Amino acid sequence: MAPVTENGPYDYDLIVIGGGSAGLACAKEAVACGARVVCLDYVKPTPLGTKWGVGGTCVNVGCIPKKLMHQASLLGEAVHEAAAYGWNVNEKIKPDWNKLVSSVQNHIKSVNWVTRVDLRDKKVEYINGLGSFLDPHTMTIKMKSGDRKITSQTFVIAVGGRPRYPDIPGAVEYGITSDDLFSLNREPGKTLVVGAGYIGLECAGFLKGLGYEPTVMVRSIVLRGFDQQMAGLVADSMEERGIPFLYQYVPLSVEKLSSGKLLVKYEHSQSGEVRSDTFDTVLWAIGRKGLVDDLNLANAGVHTFKDKIQVDSYEATNVPNIYAVGDIIYGKPELTPVAVLAGRLLARRLYGESTQRMDYTDVATTVFTPLEYACVGLSEEDAVKEFGADEIEVFHGYYKPTEFFIPQKSVRHCYLKAVAERHGEQRVYGLHYLGPVAGEVIQGFAAALKSGLTIKTLMNTVGIHPTTAEEFTRLNITKRSGLDPTPASCCS
């Protein structure tokens, strides 16, 4: 045990490992509750050399730059639509990639600065160093100034994850990930996006909107873990916009040609057919790996599972004084708002006499593809699996956003559905929406679903006209009925 000091037997009450959404929220809340806290944060550069400041994935290489580039893409689309509305638009308008990257990075750096100031103001000690366990109460920290040993009564692991690379020739040498894309110092050009999860589809979507040529390679299914009818519609809407999908293909190798282009060989997983094509950029979006390797968790006795940490309903690991929150924990939604709330609630339980636990069910999320997809609650597949097909009713409908009319944008894939209990109160188990500003639409409905929303309540809610969100209040056709879910009129 560490020698007893005027502050107790340990240097700190709490060491938080990770300066991302979960770690920062936990550290700040713990200090507010009176704890002595230090937050460790360290970013290993990518193979390309990309690194960033405090704030974690969301701020630096995730939600924030992704949404900004998605917005840039939408603005480009809006410029061309403006002509149909009577604006005089120069048809030669094109984006400046370097200016876009500079603007995005300037914003990120401003957030890094504000975050550091906030930590200072809230009296959270911050150490830019790589921590690893020596025992359940002791860590060693590698810093530029040398190694340092510190002790703590309690630890919270909030290190998150980083993108994976495939184990094929040339993957690391010539490919990039989302960790590199948002600060890439050249135009992406013709890009192969390997992976069809939400990160891959979002990146392919904004690259297309910015005028580049993305192709999406799909090993198995699109948007694994999401409602598969909606996932299919998302993919269809992207293909309609000119983004090709290579289904059932896996990459074999990446080779850099003398021209600077990248030659990618890939194989069909069923037929064995081998094909090849050249690209300017290869973007790996094949999943993320939890950052457990550098922590020496075995020294502390913490168990891991599939490069993640298993915790109980109190975010406690198998070691009594060590907890974990955020993307590093196994089997929970890897989303920033989840990490933030879980981190705060954990700190309040540890130091604020609270008993409230994180509720990981019915968490809303949005995929920022060109036509956005948002959902909350159960997918249709999961509802059927949990309750049985005979006990599920699905209300659905296509709709026509008013803003799509004049520029004659396609409405083929604007669709929504409510997955509900078939009998009784017809409680809503899940809501799914594909269309404009999906995140803004689903957020309010998420609160309603969390509060026990029923189909009757939904149908008796007066919609705001003309909006796309009101379409949820107009749902009256079920899949079981076999009736056409295409609307005849927007105003009746």
- Maximum pairwise Cα distance, the chain: 77
The pLDDT of residue 492: 61
pLDDT in tens, the chain (492 residues): 333 445 579 999 999 999 999 999 999 999 999 999 999 999 999 999 999 999 999 999 999 999 999 999 999 999 989 999 999 987 778 899 999 999 999 999 999 999 999 999 999 999 999 999 999 999 999 999 999 999 999 999 999 999 999 999 999 999 999 999 999 999 999 999 999 999 999 999 999 999 999 999 999 999 999 999 999 999 999 999 999 999 999 999 999 999 999 999 999 999 999 999 999 999 999 999 999 999 999 999 999 999 999 999 999 999 999 999 999 999 999 999 999 999 999 999 999 999 999 999 999 999 999 999 999 999 999 999 999 999 999 999 999 999 999 999 999 999 999 999 999 999 999 999 999 999 999 999 999 999 999 999 999 999 999 999 999 999 999 999 999 999 866 666
Could you give the count of Cα atoms lying within 13 Å of 455 in the half-sphere of its Cβ? 21
Active site residues: 465
The pLDDT of residue 34: 97
Pick the closest to residue 281 from 258, 255, 262, 303 (CA basis): 262
The pLDDT of residue 471: 97
Domains detected in the chain: 12-58+100-160+291-352 (3.50.50.60), 164-286 (3.50.50.60), 371-481 (3.30.390.30)
Pick the closest to residue 438 from 384, 375, 386 (CA basis): 375
Annotation: binding site for FAD: 67, 131, 327
Burial class (CB in 10 A: 0-12, 13-18, 19+), 376: buried
Annotation: binding site for NAD(+): 195-202, 287
As a whole number of angstroms, the distance between CA 342 and CA 314 comes to 9
As a whole number of angstroms, the distance between CA 430 and CA 371 comes to 20
Annotation: binding site: 67, 131, 195-202, 287, 327
As a whole number of angstroms, the distance between CA 486 and CA 467 comes to 17
